[in-house]
Amino acid sequence: MGRFMKTCIYCKVEQALVCFNKQPGNKDGLNNSCKKCRLAYRSAQKKANPRKFKNYHLKHYYNITIEQYDELYLVQGGNCAICKLHSGNFERQLHVDHCHKTGQVRGLLCISCNRGIGFLQDSRTNLQAADAYLAKFTE
């Protein structure tokens, strides 16, 4: 094995170190499986138990449980908190909207509304300016 190479424990292929994710706990600081095998493993895990994967994601990124997500969904009637369109109109589930400063969850949004307020930097001033701008060109 070369100095800048490592063998994946799954596919057994010797690959360049850039083909492995970082893993601080390991002796060489890299994961034992290559990125491709790791992705395949994670995809299989997600497919085998999507609810468990979703629960991990919600807890890790937003500090809420899947039950809390489901409760928010029911409270909102399955609709985006901004545009009020039902989640059935979208390919993807409603996204968890949260304050980037405090981490507090605000509600569930469709991808368009979530991106919209994100692009406006969660700023009411920017939103009002955008509204005033649009008002000039619409009836």
Of 46, 60, 125, the closest CA to residue 98 belongs to 60
Residues 66-109 pLDDT 10s: 999 999 999 999 999 999 999 989 888 999 999 988 999 999 99
Number of CB atoms found within 10 A of residue 40's CB: 14
Residue 106 CB partners (closer than 8 Å, separation 6+): 81, 97, 98, 99
What tokens does 81 get?
């908190």
- Chain segment 10-29, per-residue pLDDT in tens: 999 999 999 999 999 999 99
Q: Which amino acid is at 81?
A: A
Q: List the domains of the chain with CATH numbers.
A: 5-45 (no CATH), 63-137 (3.40.1800.10)
pTM of the model: 0.70
Q: Which residues contact 64 (CB under 8 A, 6 or more apart)?
A: 58, 96, 105
